[in-house]
Amino acid sequence: MNISVDSNQPAWKQAFQEALFEIDHVNLKPKLETALKRVEDRLFEVRANPTHRHELIELEDARRTIVFLQEHDLKV
């Protein structure tokens, strides 16, 4: 499924949204894996700079959601 993404959004958020809105079960797993990688990469960067507290919360929520979907093989 193609969704419109805001080019001003960070890459991790775009990948996360693409995974959440994926309706094809075959494409879901690789999109979740890509989103998790981008979220974890950004988490590493943000944790080094505590001034990005709001983004850190968003990233941690996104990571938990992705892991939940991967473990339970569910779709939102």
At residue 4 the predicted structure's pLDDT band, cuts being 50, 70 and 90, is low
The model's pLDDT over 60-73, given as tens digits with 9 standing for 90+, comes to 999 999 999 999 87
Per-residue pLDDT for 42 more than 60? yes
Say if residues 12 and 27 touch (Cβ distance below 8 Å): no
Sorted by where each begins, the domain ranges of the chain are 22-72
- The mean pLDDT of 18-41, rounded to a whole number, is 95
Q: Give me the DSSP letters along 31-73.
A: HHHHHHHHHHHHHHHHHT-TT-HHHHHHHHHHHHHHHHHHHHT
pLDDT (0 to 100) of residue 1: 47
The pLDDT > 90 percentage for the chain reads 70
